Structure 1
Amino acid sequence: MPVPQSMKAWVLGDPEELTLKTKDVPVPGRSEALVRIDAVAICATDLEILTYGTPALIEGGAPFNKEFTPGHEYMGTIAALGPGVDEFEIGERVTVEIHAGCGQCKRCRMGMYTSCHNYGLNYGDTDKGHRANGFTTNGGFAEYAVNNINTMIRVPATMTDEEATLVVTAGTSMYGLTELGGLVAGESVVVIGPGPIGLLAVAVAKALGASPVILVGTRENRNQIGTKLGADIVINPKEEDVVARIKEITGKGADYVVDCAGNETTVNQAVHMTNRGGKICLAAFPKKAVNFDLGALAVNNIYLYGIRGEGRSATHRAMAFMAEKRFDASLIHTHTFPLEDLPTALRYARERIDDAIKVVVSMRQPTATTDQITEGKSQ
């Protein structure tokens, strides 16, 4: 596969300032491959990075005005291999995890590479081998990116580019349930918040045999998608008392609760709807510190877990489920735009225009027409 010397890439200047520039195509090193990006999905964390910088960390600080290219939920085709790489072949389609830890710190050696102690120490004079594309290294809003081979998962021929970009989202949901541990078929799972991670948490929980799977959300269109993905019961907190309803359904409370909303109200709901000895996963980043009922957590032996990203190879397990059609992740994909229209795609994602859930940027799409952008879909 011929590899050009230069490529188009969006570069972050000041906050909210993206410029389409020409950059050199990166060269893969040992244990790395060059991926020609075919599609990239927009994540809420991308929007946070563009505005606030965090959790991106470039050269020890905020990513602004450092020729940084964001974007992390991408898939593509292997275009070149670094020295010694024989695990993959040029031309193979792959989707990627975000994080490749340093492999030598305490957390990486435990398999917790999304909690790598050397996060961000991969530029300048300090190079600890850590890589988190779109966070600490250049990401996927470009035509090419370099990935560690540990982060790449083969994409089956039956899966579209757009669906393959959703494997990371499904992997994050899978990671949350993995960290809670011990999920036994027939145990109850509540998912709070029907965003992309929450909706796919419903799908993963159902595929793992949870029963009942209960989705809590206020947006009717998303609740309907949750039902298609496997939710047995949907509760709208605007219409009924969520905690009382879940205790009515489950008897003593839910065995597992996954909070994908991340605010003071939902955290406290999670504490009070969980059965004694149950487990809560916090899968969202609250914008500010929250107060919650720690006493109820302690006296009821409730376990609280936080997750970040898609650790412990959960993305590989998510891909296995998706490849076997255990659930249809493409239900959350609502809009597609070409690379040149990234600013429009970001606006659709941020403002939820036309009920946007997961917006994908495709390198194979023609430039959107004005009419198509007005309609909200350039497909």
Structure 2
Amino acid sequence: MYRPAGVTMSPDLAIPHRMKAWVLGDPDQLLLHEKPTPVPARAEVLVRIDAVAICATDLEIIHSGSPASIAGGLPFNKDFTPGHEYMGTVAALGPDVDEFKIGERVNVEIHAGCGQCKRCRQGMYTSCLNYGRPEKGHRANGFTTDGGFAEYAVNHVNTLARVPDGMSDAEATLVVTAGTSMYGLTELGGLVAGESVVVIGPGPIGLLAVAVAKALGASPVILTGTRNRRLAIGKELGADRTININEEDAVAIVKKLTGGIGADYVVECAGTEATIDQAIRMTNRGGKICLAAFPHERVTLDIAQLAMNNIYLYGIRGEGRSATRRAMALMAEKRFDATKIHTHTFPLAELPTALRYARERIDDAIKVVVANRQAAPVAGATW
């Protein structure tokens, strides 16, 4: 059984020496294997993963490899476990950890910066200058270090927050998505009460950006996209106006709704050249744009428009500046219902099916959650 030296455990929680985990095989292939259950070091805890949501980035990692491998020109990282939007139960404590107790339900952030570089000391740990170097203390579970498509994971205490008793496992997996939206608004200035906010793209981050902006008092909150069902969910989450860009001129409507001057803030969650151009043209002088999506190809921007109109352009990575804790506080207070984007649930053993639903948007899947309350059989299943 699992009994590492220096680790605090409870006799009521039996932990196996080896755990079941999905790992990368070849590109577009996941294999269900057994791996040693990880051991928490100082300032770390072992989390029994109870649920994990699927993100579009997970699909990209399964196809192309982890970001650290890609950035470093390294070969496809086999035996790596992806999955980063998870929650679970504290199962064991590393040496001298007293911030959490065994048995507590916790939500996780993805990133734990090295804690020593210039960016980490500024609180910008998602932009850690030692990104992808675990030997320097950096961790990004599901990106550069093993993630949540498994029975257990190790997390730094800085990445954990207690889940309120009234919050379900599935809802807790959505905190990272809401936290990413919160981080975008934080980088734009944070104080959005009374300001006009446009969200482009009704994906998970875009929909929860609508919810967070409305919860923070923004007015009006406008959502643009191409799928009417998703735009309808945006209305339920607080959008004052939705615009189907296939049917209406988004830039013209935004300017009309803002007295002809354009929006104060635009959160761009689609990541295409056309939508980024729309963001520039619908932002007022001195306004701010957050790029929350990653374009897959080079885009051509009208830099002159940005410069002449003093428009600020921000890029964000992940869920930084403790935004997940603030987003979870809004969720706990029922300021918005994040579960409106949760459409499907599968057990861990059916992860390949869950990924297919997310990738192909079967039944208009938005957020697919994998529940891990029961152990999955070890098999050679592939995606």
- Tell me the distance in 1 between the aligned counterparts of 2:73 and 2:298: 22
Residue 343 of structure 1 corresponds to which residue in structure 2?
352
**Cross-structure match for 2:36:** 24
Letter in 1 for 2:266: V
SS at match of 2:153: strand
Q: How far apart in 2 are the matches of 1:228 and 1:58?
A: 38
2:169 to 158, 161, 164: 161
Provide the TM-score with structure 1 as the length reference. Answer: 0.94
In 2, Cα distance between equivalents of 1:294 and 1:357: 33
Q: Which residue of 2 aligns with 1:186?
A: 194
Which letter maps to 2:222? I
1:3: how far off? Answer: 1.3
SS in 1 for 2:158: helix
**Cα shift at 1:64:** 3.0
Aligned residues of 1:58 and 1:66 also touching (Cα < 8 A): no
Return the offset for 1:240.
1.1
1-side partners of 2:31 and 2:76: how far apart? 12
Q: Which residue of 1 aligns with 2:221?
A: 213
* 1:49 alignment partner in structure 2: 61
Matched, 1:15 2:24: no
Deviations 1:241-282 (A, max 9, x none): 111111011021000000000110011100000011100000
Distance 1:191 1:156, change over 3 A: same
Q: Distance in 2 between matches of 1:261 and 1:55?
A: 20
Q: Distance in 2 between matches of 1:366 and 1:45?
A: 25
Distance 1:228 1:296 in 2: 34
- Does the C-alpha gap of structure 1 residues 62 and 164 become closer, same or farther in structure 2, counting only changes over 3 Å? farther
Deviations 1:185-217 (A, max 9, x none): 211000000000000000000000000000001
Give the deviation of 1:54 after TM superposition: 4.5
The total of aligned residue pairs comes to 363
- 1:301 and 1:326 map into 2 onto residues whose CA distance is 33
What is the Cα-based RMSD across aligned positions, in Å? 1.4
Once structures 1 and 2 are overlaid, which stretch shifts more, 316-325 or 48-57? 48-57
Shift of residue 59, structure 1, vs aligned partner: 11
Q: Which moved further from structure 2: 47-56 or 61-70?
A: 61-70
> Is 2:239 aligned against 1:227?
no
Which residue of structure 2 aligns with residue 317 of structure 1? Answer: 326
Aligned partner (choices 134, 137, 162) of residue 129 of structure 1: 137
Aligned residue type for 1:253: G
Q: 1:360 aligns to what?
A: 369
Q: Report the CA distance between 1:67 and its aligned residue.
A: 1.4
The 2-side partners of 1:76 and 1:225 are apart by 27
Match of 1:101 among 113, 134, 140: 113
What is the CA distance between 1:53 and its match in structure 2?
Answer: 1.6
Task: Write the distance in 1 (CA, Å) between the matches of 2:20 and 2:289.
Answer: 43
SS at match of 2:80: coil
Partners of 2:342 and 2:369 within 8 A in 1? yes
- Listed as ranges, the gaps of 5+ residues in structure 2 are 1-12, 377-383
1:71-110 equivalences in 2 (<5 Å): 71-110=83-122
Cα distance in 2 for partners of 1:52, 1:325 equals: 38
The residue aligned with 1:170 is 178
**TM-superposition CA deviations, 1:130-175 (whole Å, max 9, x none):** 0000011000000000000000010011000000000000000000
Q: Give aligned-pair identity as a percent.
A: 77
Quick one: structure 1 residues 220 and 240, their matched pair in 2 at CA, closer, same or farther if it must change by over 3 Å? same
TM-superposed CA distance for 1:364, in Å, is: 2.7
In structure 1, what is the Cα distance between the partners aligned to 2:52 and 2:364? 19
Q: CA deviation at 1:66?
A: 3.2
- Residue 58 of structure 1: CA displacement? 8.8
Equivalence for 2:282: 273
Q: Residues 57-82 of structure 1: CA distance to partner in whole angstroms, max 9, x if unpaired? A: 39955573531100000000000000
Amino acid across the alignment from 1:281: C
User: Do residues 253 (structure 1) and 265 (structure 2) align?
Assistant: no
1:285 to 294, 299, 305: 294
Could you tell me which residue of structure 1 aligns to residue 308 of structure 2? Answer: 299
Q: Distance in 2 between matches of 1:182 and 1:57?
A: 33
User: Is residue 49–residue 56 contact of structure 1 (8 Å, CA) maintained in 2?
Assistant: no
1:370 — aligned with what?
none
- Letter of the 2:181 partner, please give it: S
Contact 2:66–2:144 (Cα < 8 Å) also in 1: no
Q: What CA distance in whole angstroms lies between the structure 2 residues aligned with 1:184 and 1:108? A: 26
* Aligned equivalents of 2:89, 2:71: Cα separation in 1: 29
Find the aligned partners of 2:37 and 2:156 in 1 and give their Cα distance: 16
Distance 1:59 1:35 in 2: 28
Query: Matched residues in 2 for 1:40 and 1:139: separation?
Result: 10
Q: How far apart, CA to CA, are the structure 2 residues paired with 1:222 and 1:190?
A: 15
**So what's the TM-score if we normalise by structure 2?**
0.93
